[in-house]
């Protein structure tokens, strides 16, 4: 094995002087830069690693369907298929005013939602950025922060006269991490995902923890429903578009939800629920193929990400398709090529060695760069990593970003196809409400999902149409809270005037 060149480029001599250097073989070009031909040779290797054929996709879909069925049949499965106790579709005529709190992977969001009926709504919201330290703090401290932010928001609405003082507000709590629920206002955290690791939270009822923080901060709100952003997206999207049958999140994490007949959920048969009643299922499909790793096309870069994560072996599907990891996949490939003496010879590449320093947003910008000289890529590598690139390298990086992003979208299509196939939606067709930064901002992500569905199903794949979903963590949580409100609260008028 050759000595690692990663981080090479300069050394500091005892005199304090800096000596720059690079390493190349005798058959290399005169300039220490990767040539167009050499980069094309490397690109072919990565194309073979990251390209998903239609046949392979269909195999993944079948395995995915089996995992969904297993999760419905028995508790404690890899894909948990969590019953949400959200029954039936909204009518679109729901009205009222509700608070919603969304603890997401990147931000904490608090909302005041007015449902106006006829699929219409108004929403006022504030957003608070979560630090990496907060994601790892003790769980009760994290919920204290959530309560403090909500208190600030509610106080501002009271001061402006929008919310009436001394009224207990119904609250829908969007908590997008796998929880075990036996009722709508209860949920024990199974495991953290999306890089969270707050201690003393897994195995605990997060509603009880949040209620404790609300009481501590004297917030005039009562949690009446716990949901995840995906279930909320399912309900909110159907409120506006009744053709919606599935909801997906493609962002920092990934997930899906859909409506299932209670009679087709064997693991809750003992509850005596009417078999024809429909209940939303929170799939938590980011866990598909975890531990055994038998079905997904994991590369060595995916394995490195998994092994160095805070949850090795878990969330296998999420680690291949979510926004948290795509940039890191590309960074690991770049570092490998630096080690092999292919890229950035004679330059100091230490900034590229920092894990997760290559944000997935960079991939999005690289793919969207329309200029002949790929100026956006020049800016990314110069500004953030202090390295110069050649045109051949920039073209290679753009093609590599496309491979990584396309694989993520086609794998996402496999998940959608598994639910469509299981539920028999293909012939009639259905709409899929999709949200998240990847779906909304990554160039071509939605189009690649549609291409993937057609590769799996043929022409009938066109019957499945994804679209930008309504705000599940705000509007969806409010609708769900509204359906649960009467059994928890007597205060039904929240606003003193319309928004």
CATH (domain of 291): 3.40.367.20
473 is catalytic: no
For 410-462, the pLDDT digits (tens) are 999 999 999 999 999 999 999 999 999 999 999 999 999 999 999 999 999 99
- How deeply is 172 buried, as exposed, middle or buried, from its count of CB atoms within 10 A (0-12, 13-18, 19+)? buried
Same domain, 424 and 287: yes
Same domain, 103 and 31: no
Q: What is the mean pLDDT of the chain?
A: 88
For the ranges 79-88, 116-125, 222-231, 305-314, the lowest mean pLDDT is seen at 116-125
Q: What is the pLDDT of residue 33?
A: 65
Same domain, 462 and 480: no
296 domain-assigned: yes
279 domain-assigned: yes
**What mean pLDDT do residues 84-99 have?**
86
Q: Which tokens in the block code for residue 451?
A: 């291409």
What sign does the CA torsion over 444, 445, 446, 449 have?
positive
Phi, psi (degrees; rounded to nearest 5) at 136: -110, -5
| Residue 455 CB coordination number (10 Å) | 20
Beta strand pairing status for 169-175 and 95-103? parallel
Q: Which of 176, 322, 473, 483 is catalytic?
A: 176
Same domain, 290 and 408: yes
Give percent of the chain with pLDDT exceeding 90. Answer: 70
Same domain, 222 and 324: no
For 368-378, the pLDDT digits (tens) are 877 767 889 99
Residue range(s) defining the domain that contains residue 18: 1-73+242-469
**Among residues 417, 87, 415, 77, which one has the least CA distance to residue 266?**
77
Domain count, the chain: 2
Confidence of residue 488 (pLDDT cuts 50, 70, 90): very low
Q: Which of 5, 191, 331, 398 is catalytic?
A: 191
228 domain-assigned: yes
8 is catalytic: no
Of the CA atoms within 13 Å of residue 72, those in its CB half-sphere come to 21
Q: CA-to-CA distance for 467 and 83, rounded, in angstroms?
A: 25
Give percent of the chain with pLDDT exceeding 70. Answer: 90
Q: What is the pLDDT of residue 26?
A: 38
176 is catalytic: yes
> What is the pTM assigned to this prediction?
0.83
Same domain, 458 and 310: yes
Q: Which of 144, 185, 205, 229 is catalytic?
A: 229
Same domain, 323 and 234: no
Assign 281 to helix, strand or coil: strand
């Amino acid at each position: 094995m050759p000595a690692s060149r990663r981080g090479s480029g300069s050394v500091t001599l005892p005199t304090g002087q800096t000596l720059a250097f690079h390493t190349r073989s005798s058959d290399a070009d005169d300039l220490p830069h990767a040539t167009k031909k050499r980069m094309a040779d490397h690109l072919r290797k990565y194309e073979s690693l990251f390209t998903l054929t239609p046949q392979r996709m269909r195999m993944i879909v079948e395995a995915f369907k089996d995992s969904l069925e297993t999760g419905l049949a028995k508790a404690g499965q890899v894909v948990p298929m969590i019953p949400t106790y959200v029954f039936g579709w909204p009518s679109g005529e729901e009205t009222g005013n509700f608070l919603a709190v969304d603890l997401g992977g990147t931000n904490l969001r608090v909302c005041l939602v007015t449902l106006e009926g006829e699929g219409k709504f108004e929403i006022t919201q504030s957003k608070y950025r979560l630090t990496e330290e907060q994601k790892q703090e003790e769980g009760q401290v994290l919920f204290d922060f959530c309560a403090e932010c909500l208190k600030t928001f509610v106080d501002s609405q009271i001061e402006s006269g929008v919310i009436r003082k001394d009224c207990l507000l119904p609250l829908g709590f969007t908590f997008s991490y796998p929880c075990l629920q036996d009722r709508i206002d209860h949920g024990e955290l199974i495991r953290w995902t999306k890089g969270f690791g707050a201690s003393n939270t897994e195995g605990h009822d997060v509603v009880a923890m949040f209620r404790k923080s609300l009481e501590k901060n004297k917030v005039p709100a009562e949690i009446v429903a716990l949901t995840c952003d995906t279930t909320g997206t399912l309900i909110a999207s159907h409120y506006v578009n009744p053709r919606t049958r599935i909801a997906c999140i493609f962002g920092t994490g990934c997930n899906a939800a859909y409506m299932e007949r209670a009679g087709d959920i064997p693991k809750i048969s003992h509850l005596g629920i009417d078999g024809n009643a429909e209940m939303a299922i929170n799939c938590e499909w980011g866990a598909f193929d975890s531990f055994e790793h038998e079905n997904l096309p994991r590369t060595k870069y995916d394995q490195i990400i998994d092994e160095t994560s805070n949850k090795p072996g878990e969330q296998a599907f999420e680690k291949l398709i979510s926004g948290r990891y795509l940039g890191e996949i590309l960074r690991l490939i770049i570092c490998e090529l630096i080690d092999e003496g292919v890229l950035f010879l004679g330059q100091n590449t230490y900034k590229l060695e920092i894990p997760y320093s290559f944000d997935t947003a960079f991939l999005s910008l690289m793919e969207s760069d329309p200029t002949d000289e790929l100026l956006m890529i020049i800016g990314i590598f110069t500004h953030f990593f202090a390295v110069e690139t050649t045109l051949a390298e920039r073209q290679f990086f753009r093609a590599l970003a496309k491979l990584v992003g396309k694989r993520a979208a086609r794998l996402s299509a496999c998940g959608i196809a598994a639910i469509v196939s299981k539920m028999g939606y293909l012939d009639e067709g259905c709409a899929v409400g999709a949200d998240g930064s990847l779906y909304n901002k990554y160039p071509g992500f939605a189009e690649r999902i549609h291409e993937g569905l057609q590769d799996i199903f043929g022409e009938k794949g066109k019957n499945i149409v994804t679209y930008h979903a309504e705000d599940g963590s705000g509007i969806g949580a409010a609708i769900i809270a509204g359906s649960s409100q009467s059994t928890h609260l007597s205060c039904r008028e929240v606003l003193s005037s319309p928004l």
